[in-house]
Amino acid sequence: MIDYISVFIFFFAVIDPVGTVPVFIAATSQFDEKAKRKIALQAACAAALILLFFIVAGELILTAIDIPLPAFEIAGGIILFLFALTMIFGDSKPDTEVQMVKDGSETAIFPLAVPSLASPGAMLAAVLLTENSSFSIIQQVQTAGVMLSVLFIAFLFMLAASWIHRFIGNSGASIISKVMGMILAAVATNSVLSGIKVYFLL
């Protein structure tokens, strides 16, 4: 059995449903309510498919190109740490991704599904948290279920985006994103240390 709380917090940090709210509002400002609901569903489903692909095939791809998982865990932890630093010290996730918004019918895919929901950090997390040598099939299914629950929360947040945005504003979303960045930095550090321990047989 996996630690549901830690896995949930990990995915909540890298997917960042709250930070997606300002992006969704900017991306769908020209659409009516019915279209917004459709875009929210499409974005959540597309992100789920992308992340499920990484859960199923991510480690197989690494094995095919002869990259040991501890090396990927170290590299992934470093990338996650840098990603966390941009959340803490750089432009917040909402500010950065709102700048990507363009008019058009593809807003459900870009920037909502990628990179807002299925971010590089979320893709790495999907691989690292479903390592075949460390987790059984049942545990990997449980992890996938937790990930999908976070995406469902993100979907609900997008449906309630207008109300949430009135309540917290862009500044509130930025603050939450920075807190998530702190959590993610700690998780990334642990990933690097774990990879070093396994790789060097410490």
pLDDT tens, 55-102? Answer: 999 888 888 888 887 888 888 888 878 878 887 887 656 566 666 665
Distance CA 201, CA 197 (A): 6
The closest of 198, 181, 192 to 16, measured between CA atoms, is 181
Distance CA 196, CA 12 (A): 25
**Strand blocks (E) in the chain:** none
Distance CA 10, CA 192 (A): 15
Whether the full predicted model's pTM is greater than 0.85, yes or no, is: no
Token pair of 145, please? 């279920």
The closest of 129, 107, 100, 108 to 14, measured between CA atoms, is 129
The domains of the chain are located at 4-199
pLDDT tens, 131-174? Answer: 887 899 999 999 999 999 999 999 999 999 989 888 888 788 88
Residues 37-55: what's their mean pLDDT?
96
Question: How confident is residue 104, by pLDDT bands cut at 50, 70 and 90?
Answer: very low
Distance CA 94, CA 26 (A): 10
